[in-house]
Structure 1
Amino acid sequence: MTSIISLKETNRGFAVGKFIDRYGAPCSIQKSSIATEDCIWLGIDNNRMHLTQDMAAALVPLLQTFVATGELGQERQPDDGLFNGAYRDTDPAILDALKAGRDLIEEAMHTHIYDESNGEIPPADCPYAAHVRLVDELLTGAK
């Protein structure tokens, strides 16, 4: 099988491979310049993922199975909600900041934006209420 990606070097000396995806979008894989850990950029040129070595390692078996079979594999975990519990291992200080921001938005919504003491109720499509629900779901996945 011939490689469709040939590695070159950026002006700053980082390896980069360019290719075109199934829909004709220009894509690349590039060594990241981040100094604190080894990472790569991967994806459509104007919307790339920044992956650590651990993240890339987690993708390898899935990609190998896909190359061999056209499938992602048989072992599937149940979806445990939004972002599949992505915040589960997040630093507690970050979770505390997320909770504090959520509480401030909820307080502002109930007292300053909609005065519930005067019978004002947030409408069903209220973006503030939607944000509070989103953060609640993220925090539920963090437990």
Structure 2
Amino acid sequence: MTEERLMKNLDKNRAWFWTAIEMLGLAVYLVWRNQYFEVPPPQRTILGLLDDPVPLMMLVAFATFTIVVSLWNIKHLHATLIRTVFVWFSLFVYFGAFFVRDWDLHRVSIETIYTGVLLLRVVHEALRHPELRAVQKELAAHKQGVV
């Protein structure tokens, strides 16, 4: 693959590429903070699981998959839809965890705002997805009786 084509794909998928980089940054931050979800009572043990290596490695794997799909513009086996679901799911889980932690501590943290903004951007990009638009047009045509 030529450098020009790679740069064209990066330009086309830049929002997803930078979202993946930000997800990697979130994983590095959680490793650096070490037991971020360990809070004073009432302690929720389910949140402590998100600090374990397995969920963090899954976050890194989803981000890496997003980078690969973005740079090489992979469209086989619905890779773009899988990318969207992986990114949305992982950010939604961490946003929920940060929100519950902030609720328990009666404050708003920058982590909740950060993941919330990332999640909103992912939803916005997902709604702009061409395959989703095709499904929306098909549903609208079906409602009007034109199949």
Q: TM range, normalised to the smaller chain?
A: 0.3 to 0.5
Point out the structure with the larger strand share.
1
Point out the structure with the larger helix share.
2
- If asked which structure has higher relative contact order (CA below 8 Å, sep 6+), I would say 2
